[in-house]
Amino acid sequence: MQSDKPVVFSAKGVSKTFGAGKNLKTAVDNVTFDIYDEEFISIVGGSGCGKSVLAKIMLGLYKPTEGEFTYRGAPIKNQKSHWNEVQFVFQDPFGCFNQFFTIRSQLEDALNILKDKPSKEEIRQRVDEGLMAVNVKPEDIEGKYPFELSGGQMQRMLLARIFALRPKVLIADEATSMVDACVRANILDYLRKLKDQLKMTVVFVTHDIGLANYVSDRIFIMHKGKIVNQGTPAEVLDNTSEPNTLKLLDDIPEVHKTEWIPNSHRAKKA
Ligand SMILES: Nc1ncnc2c1ncn2[C@@H]1O[C@H](COP(=O)(O)OP(=O)(O)OP(=O)(O)O)[C@@H](O)[C@H]1O
Ligand SMILES: [Mg+2]
């Protein structure tokens, strides 16, 4: 795709392998793409296809074993300064919060990493806004610890933290998987809204092609480390004969099919 926006991430022939010899595992296999400013990209594929490894390359947690990967035109050298602009939400929300501190104190603490640290009042206000963005009344978590919340609620806390942090780029790895379908649509709507408000770039990693269709500007379909299909939802989904894409369409939970794939000939597939 050509865009007049600046390129955020650029991958040219990027591969990432683990191990060596007969234990060599190619997690990401020769992928090439550009992601532009303010795009909402979904990376979709089955378990083990390399989505999270690719997401970790974007976060600067892994360096490619082959190929060239850049963020805004330069290789990622300093993780700390990279994370000032690029934030992430991972699968396990409990792993990201310390059980011994209140949720509010941790949400507020997260803002201390910012280069231009906001005032105390502003931090409080931004955390409140973040909570309200994910439909949680600030008073409902007042004095609460992570273990007092459910998995779904904790994932919302992670999203609230992102909303408060306002990064330039957000990488969300199955961030909504523990949340029920209704809340999930709600969160994704907020994520899109916030993306527009903050002019954020979002890379959303999911198994669910229906969700991807619902929120994305472009979709990358991954299979065995390769990107096997990419483009706008219409380009990727409509009348496709690409087998992995068809398989993912088949895997959409029945209850979501009409909700996520309203377009008539996509519904035909359902
Ligand atoms: N640190 C590692 N060492 C060795 N192999 C790894 C490592 N991380 C990932 N892999 C392998 O790379 C492949 C891709 O893993 P990845 O975590 O990216 O899958 P995924 O698409 O995110 O799957 P899921 O949807 O289940 O999260 C898998 O076969 C995995 O076992
Ligand atoms: Mg994963």
Grouped pLDDT means (10 residues each) for the chain, 270 residues: 86 97 96 97 95 96 97 94 86 77 94 85 94 89 93 82 90 71 70 82 91 92 97 92 93 66 45
Whole-number Å distance between alpha carbons of 56 and 27: 11
Q: How do the domains of the chain map onto residue ranges?
A: 7-269
Whole-number pLDDT of residue 179: 65
- State the closest ligand 1 atom to the C-alpha of 54, by its place in the atom list counted from 1: 18
Report if pTM > 0.75.
yes
Whole-number Å distance between alpha carbons of 173 and 140: 26
Looking at the structure, give the CATH architecture of the domain made up of residues 7-269. Answer: 3-Layer(aba) Sandwich (3.40)
Please enumerate in sequence order all residues whose Cβ is within 8 A of that of 138, keeping only pairs 6 or more positions apart, or say none. Answer: 104, 127, 128, 131, 132
- Determine contact, residues 160/134, Cβ cutoff 8 Å: yes
- Atom 5, ligand 1: which residue's CA is nearest? 18
Whole-number Å distance, alpha carbon 222 to ligand 1 midpoint, is: 12
- Determine contact, residues 26/17, Cβ cutoff 8 Å: yes
Whole-number pLDDT of residue 89: 78
C-beta 252 within 6 A of ligand 1: no
Whole-number pLDDT of residue 265: 38
Whole-number Å distance, alpha carbon 4 to ligand 2 midpoint, is: 31
Whole-number pLDDT of residue 123: 94
Whole-number pLDDT of residue 163: 84
Whole-number Å distance between alpha carbons of 118 and 112: 8
C-beta 25 within 6 A of ligand 1: yes
